[in-house]
Amino acid sequence: MVRSIDFAIVGAGPYGLSLGAYFAGAGANFKIFGSPMAVWRNHMPSGMYLKSEGFASTLFDPRRQHSLREFCARNGHPYADVGVPIPVELFYAYGRDFQQRLLPDLDTRHIARITAAGGGFLLRLDDGEVLRARKVVVAVGIAHYAYIPPELRELPSRFLWHTSEKRPMEQFFGRRVLVMGAGSSAVDTAGLLHQAGADVEIMTRRPKIWFNHAPDRKRGLALAYARLLKPRSGLGLGWRSYMASDLPTVFHRMPEQFRLRVTRGHLGPSAGWVSRTLVEDKVPIKVERTMRRAEVRGEKLHVTFTTPDGDEEVEADHLVAGTGYKVDLDRLEFLDEPIRQQISRVNSTPRLSRFFESSVPGLYFVGPSAANSFGPLLRFAWGAKFTSRHLTRHLTR
Ligand SMILES: Cc1cc2nc3c(=O)[nH]c(=O)nc-3n(C[C@H](O)[C@H](O)[C@H](O)COP(=O)(O)OP(=O)(O)OC[C@H]3O[C@@H](n4cnc5c(N)ncnc54)[C@H](O)[C@@H]3O)c2cc1C
């Protein structure tokens, strides 16, 4: 006999856990699946700091009793809403604590296959058990979407790795490593490799690396004036971030091309202010370098970049692709092919209703997969606040 539930949440990162806490608060008949906070433990470099500030690096529950601030106070960790960097290990421990307190029945099994059946869905778990759910919320974050440029995909893994693979940095002591990219994964990995004694260089096609603003030292009126010019939001400083952070439903009503442009262009690759201290005056940063090809000759890797002054060939022992993540529905192999075919898409991401529903009735997407519909907010944990409230109200009313 197949067990039936109303809602299945697939994924237990900040979005899945926050939504689970709201569903639990509303008394919904649901189950949440996945290894809690697994991405933060298995796919982020040890020693990394979050780029979001403390107040925006939290999970959400309807009674507001389980914030990062409360966890830090209870466990004696230093905390401030702004200005005290959050180590990734602390964020992981906090997420696990949140799960154990609010969602002790979470099922750590992975969903291997989702198929449509009788107006709902059948979910096959990784041990073969099958469950029926009326509605499914896909909250799988970024893990399926690591992006490696086609030119690099054939390189053997001893020469190439993506920043989402966690490798012990000590392995690279004395080795020459090129890190490609300009986002926080690239910059943090380069800084941590440098600390581990590697000879590192960052190569980016961008004209510079953008770092988030360090906390203001201003006080009183000067601070008030600065905040008027650049208000603070969960996505950082400035009016554009403020609007992206606080008006996701307005954003959803905008024309699709506008949404795509803003989501692509705003809050693109950047690194946290702590990351700056890891690389500044320590790791050479070469800008305007577009990678053309990479080949192995003997025991070395030879990478050719196009630069404003012509081609440049660089020799290295390893190349790290800090080339980020691209949402692509076809990477979600646990969704049965016929379901994936039915999902209306824009740029390989799902087109979503104002309640996160895809064109397949009963199938919802939250987190980074929903960014083209609701804006850059959905690429950050801060977006879980709006998402959990909005979706729970809709599904459990
Ligand atoms: C280097 C780096 C630094 C970042 N720093 C920040 C930051 O400082 N602040 C911030 O807000 N954001 C940061 N981000 C963005 C961050 O990835 C998102 O905020 C976050 O992923 C959103 O949470 P999520 O719940 O959508 O997904 P995730 O945290 O990615 O969690 C997804 C979950 O889904 C599970 N899952 C996947 N497939 C299945 C399946 N088939 N069955 C069951 N479970 C499954 C995974 O195990 C995982 O637990 C950073 C990203 C990177 C790469």
* pLDDT value, residue 341: 96
pLDDT surpassing 90 at residue 263:
no
* pLDDT value, residue 386: 95
Q: Which of 9, 15, 340, 363 to mutate to test the pocket of ligand 1 (most atoms within 8 A of CB)?
A: 15
Nearest CA to ligand 1 atom 5: 50
* pLDDT value, residue 238: 78
Nearest CA to ligand 1 atom 10: 380
Q: List pLDDT tens digits, range 17-38.
A: 999 999 999 999 999 999 999 9
CA distances from 384 to 17, 25, 166, 295, 323 (A): 9, 15, 25, 42, 25
Give me the mean pLDDT over the 252-258 stretch: 90
* pLDDT value, residue 294: 94
Query: Rounded to two decimals, what is the model's pTM?
Result: 0.94
Ligand 1 pocket list (CB less than 6 A): 10-16, 33-35, 38-39, 44, 50-52, 57, 110-111, 139-143, 184-185, 334, 367-368, 379-382
Q: List pLDDT tens digits, range 76-128.
A: 999 999 889 999 999 999 999 999 999 999 999 999 999 999 889 999 999 99
Q: Which of 328, 340, 380 to mutate to test the pocket of ligand 1 (most atoms within 8 A of CB)?
A: 380
pLDDT surpassing 70 at residue 270:
yes
Quickly state the pLDDT bin for 250 (edges 50, 70, 90).
confident
pLDDT surpassing 70 at residue 267:
no
Output the CA 94–ligand 1 centroid distance in Å. 14
Q: List pLDDT tens digits, range 213-240.
A: 777 777 788 888 877 888 887 777 777 7
pLDDT surpassing 80 at residue 12:
yes
